[in-house]
């Protein structure tokens, strides 16, 4: 099973421990997490179901390519990291 990790900066708002997810895409994996942590959905996704701009998500060390439909593929060994993106000047 794939693993999903949420940065401490996100867990400060909503406790979301590391977990295994049985999913073929990032979207399926996030839905599994949201089923257990419904409040997390609004923090991770916008009203259109896309990843919020203040987040950076990596699958197996690569930035997510499909921030709108969340179709990036996952395999059993995948590692998904959800972190707050740095911004400012």
Q: For the segment 6-64, what is each residue's pLDDT rounded down to a tens digit?
A: 999 999 889 899 999 999 999 999 999 999 999 999 999 999 999 999 999 999 999 99
Task: Say what the pTM is.
Answer: 0.92
**For 37-41, which contacts have Cβ atoms below 8 Å and span 24 or more sequence positions?**
39/14, 40/14, 40/16
pLDDT at residue 74 tops 70: yes
**Mean of the per-residue pLDDT values for the chain?**
94
CATH superfamily of 2-84: Beta-grasp domain (3.10.20.30)
Contacts (Cβ under 8 Å, ≥6 apart) of 7: 81, 82, 83, 84
pLDDT of residue 52: 96
Instruction: For residue 82, give the DSSP letter.
Output: E
Domain boundaries, the chain: 2-84
**Helix and strand numbers, DSSP H then E, in the chain:** 3, 5
78 close to 61: Cβ distance less than 8 angstroms: no
């Amino acid at each position: 099973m794939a693993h999903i990790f949420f940065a401490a900066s996100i867990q400060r708002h909503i406790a979301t421990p590391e977990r295994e997810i049985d999913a073929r895409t990032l979207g399926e994996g996030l839905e599994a997490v949201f089923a257990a942590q419904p409040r997390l959905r609004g923090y991770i996704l916008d009203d259109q179901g896309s990843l919020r701009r203040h987040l950076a998500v990596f699958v197996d060390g690569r930035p997510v390519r499909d921030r709108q439909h969340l179709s990036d593929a996952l395999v059993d060994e995948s590692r998904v990291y959800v972190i707050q993106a740095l911004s400012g000047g």
